[in-house]
């Protein structure tokens, strides 16, 4: 697990994002997707909270899940990956 974690840290971009899926990483290194996901979850526990997320949505979701009293509507928006669609006012009529 530690070796995988080091590999993931090496793959972080300048903003702290890990722009690869577990499947992509599994194809590149000799570990399973499950092992990579476990290491990624460990990485998400480090400071700053959300490091190793794939994108802003995942980063905010990691942070939101750590807060005790996070707004459930905001959490649902993040879990359903609606953040970018909400920012685009032209897509408001097609939101669920």
Of the candidates 47, 56, 93, which has an alpha carbon nearest to the alpha carbon of residue 78? 56
Is the same domain home to 72 and 32? no
Is the same domain home to 64 and 23? no
Q: How far apart are CA 82 and CA 80, in angstroms?
A: 5
Model pTM score: 0.76
Give every CB contact of residue 25 below 8 A, 6+ residues apart in sequence: 7, 8, 11, 31, 33, 36
Is the same domain home to 50 and 60? no
Q: How far apart are CA 81 and CA 92, in angstroms?
A: 14
Is the same domain home to 49 and 59? no
pLDDT of 95 over the 80 cut: no
Is the same domain home to 36 and 64? no
How would you label 33-72 residue by residue, b for 16+ Cβ within 10 Å and e otherwise? eebbbbbbeebbeeeeebbbbeeebbbbbbbbeeeeeeee
What is the count of structural domains for the chain?
2
Is the same domain home to 14 and 41? yes
Q: Which residue has the higher pLDDT, 12 or 89?
A: 12
Is the same domain home to 28 and 59? no
Q: Residue 43: which domain range?
A: 1-54
Is the same domain home to 43 and 78? no
Is the same domain home to 80 and 43? no
Is the same domain home to 84 and 44? no
pLDDT digits (tens, 9 = 90+) for 13-64: 999 999 999 999 999 988 999 999 999 999 999 999 999 999 988 998 899 8
Cis bond upstream, residue 48 (ω within 30): yes
Q: How far apart are CA 72 and CA 41, in angstroms?
A: 22
């Amino acid at each position: 697990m530690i070796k995988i974690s080091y590999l993931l840290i090496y793959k972080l971009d300048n903003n702290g994002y890990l722009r690869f899926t577990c499947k992509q990483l599994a194809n590149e290194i000799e570990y399973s997707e499950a092992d990579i996901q476990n290491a990624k979850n460990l990485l998400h526990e480090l400071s700053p909270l959300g490091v190793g997320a794939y994108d802003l949505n995942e980063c905010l979701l990691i942070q939101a899940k750590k807060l005790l009293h996070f707004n459930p509507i905001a959490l649902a928006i993040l879990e359903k990956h609606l953040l970018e669609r909400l920012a685009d006012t032209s897509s408001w009529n097609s939101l669920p």
